[in-house]
Structure 1
């Protein structure tokens, strides 16, 4: 009956129902799993076949197959390893294919388009992932910013802020108080007036 099912693309249940309707006798597989069948099932399980496929081949439930597999601890470990290896290969191929077909893509593009693969490899193959990903692009300063104007505004804000303070204070702390934009730490070379106010404050509070 399994062979007929495969040939015509219909389920065994459908074939059995049709046969009973037409008074045709059908041979059904025994429900008892013999020792030989058990060996066949375990062999397929070791080769990595899905339990549903094994169950289908021998006309038993997936639960019965799972019970047999669970009775062999080493087989359970082996199947977990096979599953992990399969996922590793599949996810690596997904990342490599994306990079190959999108040569100008950034790391962020790769992560967004391959979310599951990216995070699985990040947790299990981080070295490989960093090696194959495009080189990280450093953020560029917006050339449209008027740093002279920003310097004037920040110098006034910083002057007002420092007038209420006593003792030493770091640029990082001041930057946080002014909005945590990173201007006083990353772009201090573009803020001469602001930095002069800070240096004068440090001299007064030595």
Structure 2
């Protein structure tokens, strides 16, 4: 159309390209980045990764651990910036980190949060 020639030949996965994809996947490189580097579609990247037993699970585990490290650091930095913060402050200001850690790493979260305080509302006399 409009005199523009298109070269739409699909690129075939040869063994060398598959090995390159798998090597990059084992290094933890994101699928989109592998796709850009290898000049091939993400679907082909996912297919190559899925063909290696255990690689998908290993990448999921790496992603989970990366998220845990990120959220732990977020809570620790908040505690350093606001040493007098209460649990509810951390829960409000670091909401995503708090709830992810609560669901996935509760023991670390409980050990890292300040001690719970008793409510100090007005006492009622009868």
TM-score by length of 1: 0.55
How many equivalent residue pairs? 123
Q: String of CA shifts for 1:142-198, please: whole Å, max 9, x gaps.
A: 15x5x2xxx2xxxxxxxxxxxxxxxxxxxxxxxxxxxxxxxxxxxxxxxxxxxxxxx
Alignment of 1:88 onto 2:68: yes
Q: How far off its partner does 1:78 sit?
A: 0.4
Cα offsets for 1:85-125 (capped at 9, x unmatched): 10010010111011111111100010111111111111121
The alignment status of 1:107 with 2:119, answered yes or no, reads no
The answer to which structure has the higher helix fraction is 1
TM-score, normalised on structure 2?
0.88
Give the corresponding residue for 1:137: 117
Q: Give the structure 2 partner of residue 123 of structure 1.
A: 103
Q: For 1:55-81, what per-residue CA distance to the aligned partner results, in whole angstroms no more than 9, with x for missing partners?
A: 000100111101111112300110011
The whole-number CA distance in structure 2 between the counterparts of 1:73 and 1:113 is: 40
Aligned to 1:35: 15
Q: Which runs of 4+ in 1 moved over 3 A?
A: none
Q: Identify unmatched segments of 5+ residues in structure 1.
A: 1-19, 22-29, 152-206
Q: Which of these residues, 61, 64, 78, is aligned with residue 44 of structure 2?
A: 64
CA distance in 2, matches of 1:104, 1:88: 24
Cα RMSD of the aligned pairs, angstroms, is 2.2
Aligned pairs (5 A) from 1:124-203: 124-142=104-122, 145=124, 147=125, 151=126
What is the CA–CA distance in structure 1 between the aligned matches of 2:121 and 2:92, rounded to whole Å?
24
